[in-house]
Amino acid sequence: MGKKVTLKYNEKEYNFDLLKGSEDENAIDVSKLRSDLNLITLDPGFKNTGSCKSAITFLDGEKGILRYRGYSIEDLAKNADFLEVAFLLIFGELPTKNQLNKLIADIQDNAIIDEDLKKILVSFPRSAHPMGILSSLTSALIAFNPEKKISLTKKTGDEHAYMYNLIVKLLAKIPILVAWVYRRRNGLSLDYGDYTQGYVENVTKMMFQRPNQKYIKNDVIVNAMNKLLILHADHEQNCSTSTVRIVGSSEASLFASVSAGISALWGRLHGGANQAVLEMLEAIKNDGGDTKKFMEKAKDKNDSFRLMGFGHRVYKNFDPRAKIIKVTAHEVLKDLGIKDPILNIAKSLEKEALNDPYFTSRKLYPNVDFYSGIIYKALNIPTEMFTVMFALGRVPGWIAHWREMRMNNDPIGRPRQVYTGSKKRDFLPLKNR
């Protein structure tokens, strides 16, 4: 018999199953708590709540470990191609050569956007934030690619083929939208590329190609982009992925769920942090570069300033992605011959924070977004596009979780609450108020 956890309530003892994950993490199964005891748990921000069982990504925040389907993030970032990682996350195994070639060919077959969607894009004001545009266009894709309901009970070959087609469509169309959002901001033509040249290479080409100029591939840019996309590809039940799962749990379409995920990612406490970090570093530079002054502001509870790119809900140790990105930032700046003073400002902030009891006692370390903006800036990507690049990387993770949720037949996501409002009272007519 498995281990139990006992809860004493109203002088009676109740046993709950203790579940173990494949990496030995423990969880109390409280799924019968309400039906058996008429109790719910209260856990604002879900700091202690597991919302599902998932076989996609393993994360140990205390030890600073991150693995996709068992493969370490260090190994993947060093050796893999982003599309291989996407396949791994979504379908569970690294692709064979044939599987990868088929995926690339299928993506290329779907690399087309309805011309009417261009009209929607150009109707946005130039000043609109790219994340808002990307979320809207992803949602608008549904109008041009209506999805049929996938049966949750029958997992037939047809259902799998249908789901595969949906996934391929999204993997093909999102990079085009990303490139177009960027090009529209820069007044450039909205063109297509060719995924058979390489998925990441095609994204960079679609973004950076200039009219009447021969596009010359820059390996530094493609490799840095490949690494960044891999590092952002999944992070288990974070805010945007939980959003995708919860939206999808109502049987909303894949595109609608991913559009919601893009909106959730936008905020500066989540994916929007990369934009916020760069703006913070630039502000410190323009203020004279006094990092200590900003450290004091970050620690001052009466000041709303936070050290952006620091701290994480689950990492209480170095974010392993941040370690890789810091090294990559150095390499990219060196290879592109760029000397950017904000890299030194970032390094000073990190050094000071790692020696400051405020940060060490709260286990606040640099996260994935602390150094990523420095790389994006070096690649000539405008600050407001940073979170869009994060979204591009996260698409395979969102798809993987949406697919897992649908294939596991997970129930609709619907938390409970502790009601703190008025007790029953009678309506007062307007003349008596």
* Site of interaction with ligand CMC (CB under 6 A): 45, 235, 238, 269-271, 273, 298, 306-313, 362, 364, 367-369
Return the number of the residue (19 or 314) whose C-beta is nearest ligand CMC.
314
Return the number of the residue (313 or 330) whose C-beta is nearest ligand CMC.
313
Smallest distance, Å, CB 366 to ligand CMC? 9
Contact at 8 Å (CB) between 218 and 205?
Answer: no
Return the number of the residue (253 or 387) whose C-beta is nearest ligand CMC.
387
CA gap 20, 118 in Å, rounded? 49
Task: Verify whether residue 312 is a known catalytic residue.
Answer: yes
CA gap 267, 1 in Å, rounded? 45
Smallest distance, Å, CB 125 to ligand CMC? 28
Return the number of the residue (82 or 310) whose C-beta is nearest ligand CMC.
310
E strands, 338-411, are none
Smallest distance, Å, CB 282 to ligand CMC? 16
Contact at 8 Å (CB) between 139 and 127?
Answer: no
CA-closest candidate to residue 398, choices 250, 201, 265, 267: 265
Q: Which candidate in 312, 319, 401, 410 is catalytic?
A: 312
Residue 372's H or E segment, with its range, is helix 369-378
Return the number of the residue (253 or 275) whose C-beta is nearest ligand CMC.
275
Three-class SS state of 199: helix
Contact at 8 Å (CB) between 150 and 167?
Answer: no
Return the number of the residue (113 or 364) whose C-beta is nearest ligand CMC.
364
Smallest distance, Å, CB 360 to ligand CMC? 11
**Cross-strand pairs, 15:** 6
CA gap 368, 377 in Å, rounded? 15
Contact at 8 Å (CB) between 291 and 352?
Answer: yes
Q: Which candidate in 106, 319, 369, 410 is catalytic?
A: 369
**Cross-strand pairs, 167:** none
Question: Residue number with the shortest CB distance to ligand CMC?
Answer: 311
Question: First CA to last CA across the chain, in angstroms?
Answer: 62
Smallest distance, Å, CB 328 to ligand CMC? 16
Smallest distance, Å, CB 221 to ligand CMC? 23
Q: Which residues of 203-222 are buried (b: 16+ CB within 10 A; e: fewer)?
A: bbbbbbbeeeeeeeebeebb
Catalytic residue numbers read: 312, 369
